[in-house]
Structure 1
Amino acid sequence: MKNLDLALVKHTGTNYGLVNIGDYIQICAAEQFMPRINLEIERDGLNKKLKKKTIIILNGWFTNHPENWPPDRNLHPLFISFHLQPESGKKILSARENIEFLKKNQPIGCRDFNTVKMLEEKGIKAYFSYCLTSTLDLKYNSQNKRSGVFIVDPLYSQDFGIIKKFSLKKIIFSPPLKKLFKLKDVIFPKSKTEDFIPKEVVDKAEKIEHYINDTTNHQDLMKQAKTLLKKYACAKLVITSRIHCAIPCLALGTPVLFILNGLRDENQHMSRFRGILDHINILSLQKKEELNSLFGKKINCYHPCEIDWDNPPQNPETFKHHADSLKKKCYQFIKQHMNAIK
């Protein structure tokens, strides 16, 4: 259609020479709803000048470069499963023009409670939508027999051999260096995988990493993300500390256990977790009372000794009403704009 572009997000930025395949899994979720795609827009370059009206589903984190806000006036987004990281979110919401852009496109669907709170404090209408990756069953469901256990970055900051993957040059020349303190958890880990998963399960499982070397292009990374989704769809069990592994597994009906590696570590990430993990089976060494207190509600939590590893617990189904609502909103958004130009 001559008067309307349908766009999809793309990623070209890296984190010290690494890319997170979870970012591409999020793109796969938005792609499901697009009848066609004739434009790709860089996630951290939403202010790029557009020639005509362009619609896009913005799910995820788009505030890594606050200086590139607000998005171009010809961009008409559906903000759904939106996330504001506390530090960069404050910068975004300190500028009047950014608040005006968000108000123009409200209500904003947020994937976590903290983002809802930050937006509402600025007078922006917002609601908890959950994560769009919970809709991935639309395209990636499988009827194949389930087999195999996949362990995906089980201890969050301690993926398999992450030190070897870092680009030293990019580490040295990529501020802020304070992010490098994350490496202390790799060099001096507080816990190990076998604290959560029996050694015999670990030995037989396939190990997968979501952080990979940036040695390929956007299209190839999208293919890798889709290949992973097909693997997860057929798995007997997935054990992970990656949100964008766990929630796709919920969508695909694959039993999944999300590892919380200690309350001290997770407090640093609770802005991302509140709301997200309410619908996932959590594997933790902590007392259930402590976790319930941390989340402010009773959650689905298991100690490793409670798990029957041959018959893992089935996923909660409480996420499904959020997933159904997400599907409805995305389809309505596309239909509304397509009909408007007929």
Structure 2
Amino acid sequence: MNHALLHVPSKNEVYPPVKYYALSYNYDFSQMVTKVCNIGDNFQSFAVCNALKKNGITSDQIGFLDRETLGLEAMTPNEGILIAQGWFVHGTKEHPMLPIHPSKARQVLFFGFHLNKSAWGTLKKCPDFRTFMKSHEPIGCRDIPTRDFLRTLKVKAYFSRCLTLTFDKQKEPTGEYIYFIDHNDQVLKYLPPSLAGKEKFLSQEIPPDNIPMGEKDVQNIDDIAKKRYIELKQNAKMIVTKRIHIAMPFSAMGIPVILTADRPRSERISVVKEILPIYGKKKFKRINWNISAPDIEKLKSEILLMFTYALGKKEQQIGIVHNRLSQAHYEKAALLMEKACSITLKDRFNFLLTRFISGLQTIIQARKIVKPIEHAIKDIGARLGLRQKNA
């Protein structure tokens, strides 16, 4: 974002101290088949801290709350604002995530919020969830399906995208290695000879030293994530991955990324497909290896502008006023937010038609009707621009 649009406080301006919270991740492995930590979660929290600092918030004002237990009462009530960006489910009785307990923060800013589809059914039947979400609306959603689900509950929601798209662009990437992150060998078959010999292989999934995790384990995973972030930022010439929280932050930094997907139509992909081509397995041979990072500076500026605006609104609700935006940029942000929260006829049509197509697919699969019919329905959705064709 052009920092000229931010109001920089003078030395004489003194604001009351406020605590801001990002998420930390002490995983509930009792609910997981694979006992690993996904450091893409940590990257999302790095992005939250980065966006807060762009708004003049210092490191000593930033704390962390465990995502897995946000639904539990805090032993000591936490003041301040929680930035709820990331992947959420309903959780369990022992480790509830939603609704977030009011003792965790005085205000919650949902921005880059993703609600896993597996939780929709449970949360739809939970009146406390709807009441809670309405008390914190508008809800900034990382993807279109999360936004549309909340709208079915009459909760005001908008497509905020993810703050991992807002890392600063490097002047010129200096790396020399091609990193394959969580990738199988099928892609390597199509690597041009001119790029061979510079491959490095990494995974986003890191096993913790202990299960259940303690504070040192949580910190250790965070330290690993920070080292990984620096390594890729400094040494990557190109990244090949199926991880959206590698694709987004490093594209924002100006590093070319080739994004593949096991499930190109997954609800999580909508945040990425507007900036990068997505290659399914059958399209690996069509990968364009001669690429540069997309220019998303305008999009990045709009995301940060809306975040600053939304953050200011939450601060006002707890009695803090920061004049970070000029009048012109405040008005622009207000218009962007109004437009993002509005439900157009196209939105209604797309949502209803998508639900209809999904319902037909469910019936076809349940009754084991021949595959060609299922493919025809998918093709209809793709032609209407509602779904990406099966790759």
- Is the structural similarity TM-score above 0.5? yes
Correspondence for 2:166: 135
Task: Name the CA distance, whole Å, in 2 between partners of 1:154 and 1:106.
Answer: 36
- Structure 2 gaps of 5+ residues are 1-14, 210-215, 323-391
Correspondence for 2:320: 340
**Which consecutive segments of 4 or more residues in structure 1 shift more than 6 A?**
none
Correspondence for 2:35: 17
Deviations 1:142-179 (A, max 9, x none): 45651223324354xx5xxxxxxxxxxxxxxxxxxxxx
Is contact 2:18–2:61 with CA below 8 Å preserved after alignment?
no
1:7 to 2:21 alignment? yes
Task: Name the CA distance, whole Å, in 2 between partners of 1:47 and 1:237.
Answer: 40
Correspondence for 1:179: none
One-letter identity of the residue aligned with 1:43: R
Correspondence for 1:185: none
Correspondence for 2:207: 213
User: Over alpha carbons, which structure has the higher Rg?
Assistant: 2
Is contact 1:146–1:236 with CA below 8 Å preserved after alignment?
yes
Q: How does 1:152-171 map to 2 (within 5 A)?
A: 152-155=180-183, 158=184
| 3-state SS of 1:17 partner | coil
- Structure 1 gaps of 5+ residues are 159-190, 288-300
Q: Which has the higher contact order (CA 8 A, sep 6+)?
A: 1
Give the TM-score of the pair, scaled to structure 1: 0.72
1:303 to 2:304 alignment? no
One-letter identity of the residue aligned with 1:59: Q
Task: Name the CA distance, whole Å, in 1 between partners of 2:201 and 2:83.
Answer: 32
Task: Name the CA distance, whole Å, in 2 between partners of 1:203 and 1:64.
Answer: 45
Percent of pairs identical after alignment? 22
| 3-state SS of 1:98 partner | helix
Distance 1:122 1:278, change over 3 A: same
Is contact 2:147–2:157 with CA below 8 Å preserved after alignment?
yes
What is the number of equivalent residue pairs in this alignment?
A: 283
| 3-state SS of 2:69 partner | coil
Task: Name the CA distance, whole Å, in 1 between partners of 2:300 and 2:17.
Answer: 36
Q: CA deviation at 1:42?
A: 1.3
Pick the aligned partner of 2:66 from 42, 46, 63: 42
Correspondence for 1:276: 272
Q: How does 1:63-78 map to 2 (within 5 A)?
A: 63=89, 65=91, 67=93, 68=96, 69-74=98-103, 75=105, 76-78=107-109
Alpha-carbon RMSD across the aligned residues, in angstroms, is: 3.1
Pick the aligned partner of 2:84 from 36, 58, 62: 58
Give the TM-score of the pair, scaled to structure 2: 0.64
Q: CA deviation at 1:320?
A: 2.7
Distance 1:7 1:313, change over 3 A: closer
Distance 1:39 1:336, change over 3 A: same
Q: CA deviation at 1:134?
A: 0.9
Distance 1:144 1:220, change over 3 A: farther
One-letter identity of the residue aligned with 1:18: V
Task: Name the CA distance, whole Å, in 2 between partners of 1:322 and 1:4.
Answer: 25
Is contact 1:44–1:64 with CA below 8 Å preserved after alignment?
no
Task: Name the CA distance, whole Å, in 2 between partners of 1:209 and 1:322.
Answer: 31
Is contact 2:259–2:276 with CA below 8 Å preserved after alignment?
yes
